[in-house]
């Protein structure tokens, strides 16, 4: 089924997609990076020296923010891969185009500079950064929420840089070590996503959330819900109508791995149960 589906993929031209990166988009990305750095600096200044800020609070906010960023990266990645089209006004060229380009030329990201790699993530993080700075820091709870939001968007900002390193043939030595111990996105883990038709392992900050989300069938369930509500076919613009329809039908019929495992366990338990023996009346 996978080979047949791969033969039906109808992806867009990599050169045309790359040319969609316009001077206007670059200017927007530069402004977003400057704004993001300014807001994160303001947040650090507000948290620094606050009576409610402590080392354990900061460490827990950083770790939970890392997990949250991994999930957010998967959600945004899934949306960019699955819905919309490159010819949509504003969103098409600025947000959807990079996802489509990455599937037809996955090494393109290694040729992007810092602005093109990280500008989009800074842009989408700005509203959360404003919220984190604006929150009152009058209690440990508020400080934690603010620190968590600031940590999450910091890791969201770093996500495309981690993603870029996972596609480099020879990343810096320290980065290679962090990949091997799975502190950032490892190339072999991310390679699962780059297997046609590109419908799994969307989380690209570190990838820790990929397996749990796959086990419960999170993204296929979201796709069925959106298709039921709107009639839109997932991945139609990315891989072509024929392949998208066949893939949607196949995933709709499949059960989440956790459900399959539960059924197998139930069947095995039932099979091992001793059958009741009919009582024999004495003669």
Q: List, for the chain, all residue ranges whose pLDDT scores fall below the cut of 70.
A: 1-20, 271-283
Question: Cβ distance 113 to 160 under 8 Å?
Answer: no
54 is written with which tokens? 């402590």
Helix ranges, the chain (H): 2-8, 14-18, 23-47, 55-82, 91, 97-104, 114-134, 140-166, 173-180, 187-190, 210-215, 218-230, 236-239, 241-253, 257-272
Instruction: Give the pLDDT score at 142.
Output: 96
Instruction: Give the pLDDT score at 9.
Output: 47
Residue with tokens 């998208």: 244
The overall longest dimension of the chain from CA atoms, in Å, is 98
Which pLDDT tens digit goes with each residue over 2-57?
555 554 545 555 555 555 577 888 999 999 999 999 999 999 999 998 999 999 99
Q: Rounded to an integer, what distance in angstroms lies between the CA atom of residue 120 and that of residue 158?
A: 11
Instruction: Give the pLDDT score at 209.
Output: 97
């Amino acid at each position: 089924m996978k080979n047949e589906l791969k033969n039906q993929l109808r992806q867009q031209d990599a050169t045309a997609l790359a040319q969609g990166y316009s001077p206007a988009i670059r200017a927007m990305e530069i402004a977003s990076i400057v704004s993001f750095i300014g807001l994160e600096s303001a947040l650090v200044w507000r948290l620094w020296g606050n009576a409610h800020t402590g080392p354990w609070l900061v460490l827990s906010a950083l770790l939970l923010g890392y997990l949250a960023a991994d999930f957010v990266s998967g959600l945004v990645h899934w949306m960019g891969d699955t819905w919309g089209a490159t010819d949509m006004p504003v969103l098409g060229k600025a947000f959807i185009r990079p996802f489509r380009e990455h599937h037809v030329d996955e090494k393109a990201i290694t040729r992007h500079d810092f602005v093109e790699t990280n500008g989009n993530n800074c842009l989408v993080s700005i509203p959360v950064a404003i919220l984190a700075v604006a929150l009152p820091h009058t209690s440990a709870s508020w400080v934690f929420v603010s620190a968590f939001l600031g940590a999450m968007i910091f890791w969201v900002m770093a996500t495309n840089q981690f993603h870029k390193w996972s596609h480099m043939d020879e990343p810096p030595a320290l980065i290679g070590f962090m990949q091997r111990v799975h502190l950032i996105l490892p190339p072999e883990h991310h390679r699962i996503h780059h297997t046609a038709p590109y419908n799994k392992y969307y989380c690209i900050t570190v990838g820790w959330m990929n397996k749990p989300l796959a086990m419960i069938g999170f993204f296929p369930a979201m796709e069925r819900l959106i298709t039921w509500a709107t009639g839109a076919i997932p991945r139609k613009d990315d891989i072509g109508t024929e392949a998208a329809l066949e893939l949607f039908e196949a995933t709709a019929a499949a059960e989440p791995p956790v459900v399959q495992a539960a059924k197998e366990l139930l069947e095995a338990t039932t099979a091992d149960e001793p059958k009741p023996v009919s009582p024999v009346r004495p003669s």
